[in-house]
C-alpha cells in the first residue's frame, strides 16, 4: 500500500515538474526568440495591469485552446483523429518514467529510489516510448483526410527512420563505457573521477557520441531545423486539421519531448543528478578540502543540479530553433544515413578499440 502511495507521489511530482516546465517553455520560446531577434515578445496579457513579462500568456493560451471550437474535418477518421494527440502526448510523457532524479532518499528507514520505474533496460524503454510517439503524428496526418496533413505524417515517419538508427547507435558507446543500460547506474558511474580530477561524464568519454545524440535528438523533437513534419511555411503539417486543445496537445508534446531529450542529454552525457565532487556525504574536492552535508541536502542539491542541466539544454534546443533554417527533405535523409549513422558506427568501433587498449 505504502509502495503504491509513494509511486503515485513520485508520478505526481514528475508530471507536475514536466508539465509546468513545458508550459513555461511555451512562454520561453516566445520570449527567447524575441530577445534573440531584438524584439520584446509577448507582453500584452495582463491581470489587473500586471504584466509579469508576458507570463500570463501561458494561462491566456491555455484558456483560448480550451474554449476554441474543436473542429473535426468531415473527411477525417473520427476516432483516430481524436485519439492521435493523446497517443503522442502519452508516449512522450512515458519516457520520464525511467529518468533518475536522484539516487535514493532515505526516510524513516525506508529507501526510496528517486525514479518512477527502476528498470535495468531503462534506455530501451525510452526508445520504445519515442518510437511509439511518432505514431501519434503519423496517425494524425493520415486520419485528418487532408493532403497536407498526410504529407506531414509521412514526413514524420520517414524522418524517424532516418535518425532513429543513428540515435540508437550513438548511445552504444555510452553503454560500452558505463557497462549498463540502467540509467541510474550510468549516472552513478558518471560520478567517478578520471585521473582524480575530471568528472567521468559522458561528454568527456563520448564527445562524438554527444554531438550525434544531440543532432538526432533535435530531430526527435520535430523542431527546427528538423521540423519537416510540421513545415509551417509549406504544409503546416500533420496537425493542420486540429484545433483547440487537441492542437494544444501536439504543441505541448513538442515541448515535452524537448524536456525529455534535455533530460536524456543531462543524464547520459552530463552526469545526470551528479554534481562534481559531491559524494553522498558531502563535497570532497580533489585538492583535499571537504564539506560534509547531510543526506537531505545532498539529495536536494543533486535534484537542483539535474533541473538546472535540463533547463540549460532546453535553452540550447530553443536557441538552435531560432538559429538555423529548416533542412530540406533530402538533406535530412543525407544527414541521417550518410553522416550520423556512419559516424555513430565509427564511434562504436573507436570506443571499443580504446576500451580494449585500456584493459
Partner 1 sequence: MAYYNVSRPSEKLTWRERIYLPELFKGLRITTRHFVVNLALHAVRLLGIKTRRRGAVTFQYPEERRPLSPRLRTRHRLTKREDGMPRCVACMMCETVCPADCIYIVAGELPDPNVEKYPVRFDIDLGVCVFCGFCVEACPEDAIRMDTGILEIASDSREEMIYSIDRLLSG
* Alpha carbon distance 259, 314 (integer Å): 6
Span near partner 1 by CB under 8 A; candidates 27-35, 72-80, 179-187, 268-276: 27-35
Q: Binding of partner 1 at residue 328 (CB under 8 A)? A: no
Among 7, 35, 47, 194, binds partner 1 (CB under 8 A): 35
Among 172, 176, 211, 345, binds partner 1 (CB under 8 A): 211
With respect to partner 1, which residue has the nearer C-beta, 40 or 63? Answer: 40
Among 322, 329, 333, 355, binds partner 1 (CB under 8 A): 322
With respect to partner 1, which residue has the nearer C-beta, 32 or 274? Answer: 32
Q: Binding of partner 1 at residue 307 (CB under 8 A)? A: no
Q: Binding of partner 1 at residue 37 (CB under 8 A)? A: yes
Q: How far is the CB of 319 from partner 1 (least distance, A)?
A: 6
Q: Binding of partner 1 at residue 36 (CB under 8 A)? A: yes
For cell 496526418, name the residue: 141
Span near partner 1 by CB under 8 A; candidates 16-24, 32-40, 164-172, 228-236: 32-40
Q: How far is the CB of 323 from partner 1 (least distance, A)?
A: 4
With respect to partner 1, which residue has the nearer C-beta, 167 or 247? Answer: 167
Whether 22 and 16 have beta carbons less than 8 Å apart is answered as no
Total interface residues for partner 1 by CB under 8 A: 14
Span near partner 1 by CB under 8 A; candidates 89-97, 159-167, 171-179, 322-330: 322-330
Span near partner 1 by CB under 8 A; candidates 35-43, 77-85, 290-298, 306-314: 35-43
Q: How far is the CB of 333 from partner 1 (least distance, A)?
A: 16
Q: Binding of partner 1 at residue 262 (CB under 8 A)? A: no
Q: Which residue in 292, 285, 281 sits closest to 106, CA to CA? A: 281
Residues engaged in binding partner 1 (CB under 8 A): 32, 34-40, 211, 319-320, 322-324
Amino acid at each position: 500500500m505504502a509502495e503504491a502511495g509513494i509511486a503515485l507521489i513520485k508520478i505526481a511530482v514528475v508530471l507536475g515538474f514536466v508539465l509546468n516546465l513545458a508550459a513555461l517553455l511555451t512562454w520561453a520560446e516566445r520570449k527567447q526568440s524575441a530577445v534573440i531577434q531584438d524584439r520584446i515578445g509577448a507582453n500584452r496579457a495582463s491581470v489587473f495591469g500586471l504584466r509579469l513579462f508576458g507570463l500570463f500568456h501561458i494561462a491566456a493560451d491555455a484558456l483560448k485552446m480550451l474554449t476554441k471550437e474543436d473542429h473535426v474535418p468531415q473527411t477525417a477518421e473520427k476516432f483516430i483523429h481524436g485519439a492521435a494527440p493523446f497517443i503522442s502526448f502519452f508516449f512522450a510523457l512515458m519516457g520520464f518514467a525511467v529518468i533518475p532524479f536522484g539516487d535514493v532518499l532515505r526516510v524513516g528507514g525506508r529507501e526510496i529510489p528517486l525514479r518512477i520505474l527502476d528498470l535495468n533496460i531503462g534506455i530501451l524503454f525510452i526508445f520504445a516510448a519515442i518510437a511509439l510517439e511518432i505514431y501519434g503524428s503519423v496517425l494524425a496526418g493520415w486520419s485528418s483526410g487532408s493532403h497536407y496533413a498526410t504529407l506531414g505524417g509521412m514526413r514524420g515517419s520517414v524522418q524517424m527512420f532516418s535518425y532513429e538508427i543513428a540515435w540508437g547507435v550513438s548511445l552504444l558507446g555510452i553503454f560500452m563505457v558505463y557497462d549498463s543500460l540502467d540509467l541510474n547506474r550510468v549516472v552513478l558511474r558518471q560520478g567517478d573521477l578520471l585521473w582524480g580530477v575530471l568528472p567521468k561524464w559522458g561528454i568527456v568519454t563520448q564527445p562524438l557520441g554527444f554531438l550525434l545524440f544531440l543532432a538526432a535528438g533535435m530531430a526527435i523533437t520535430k523542431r527546427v531545423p528538423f521540423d519537416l513534419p510540421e513545415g509551417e511555411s509549406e504544409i503546416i503539417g500533420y496537425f493542420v486539421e486540429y484545433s483547440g486543445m487537441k492542437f494544444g496537445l501536439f504543441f505541448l508534446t513538442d515541448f515535452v519531448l524537448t524536456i525529455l531529450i534535455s533530460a536524456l542529454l543531462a543524464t547520459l552525457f552530463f552526469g545526470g543528478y551528479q554534481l562534481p565532487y559531491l559524494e553522498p556525504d558531502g563535497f570532497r574536492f580533489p585538492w583535499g578540502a571537504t564539506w560534509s552535508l547531510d543526506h537531505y541536502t545532498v539529495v536536494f542539491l543533486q535534484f537542483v543540479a539535474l533541473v538546472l542541466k535540463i533547463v540549460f539544454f532546453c535553452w540550447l534546443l530553443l536557441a538552435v530553433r531560432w538559429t538555423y533554417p529548416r533542412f530540406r527533405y533530402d538533406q535530412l535523409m543525407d544527414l541521417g544515413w550518410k553522416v550520423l549513422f556512419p559516424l555513430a558506427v565509427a564511434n562504436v568501433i573507436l570506443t571499443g578499440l580504446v576500451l580494449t587498449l585500456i584493459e
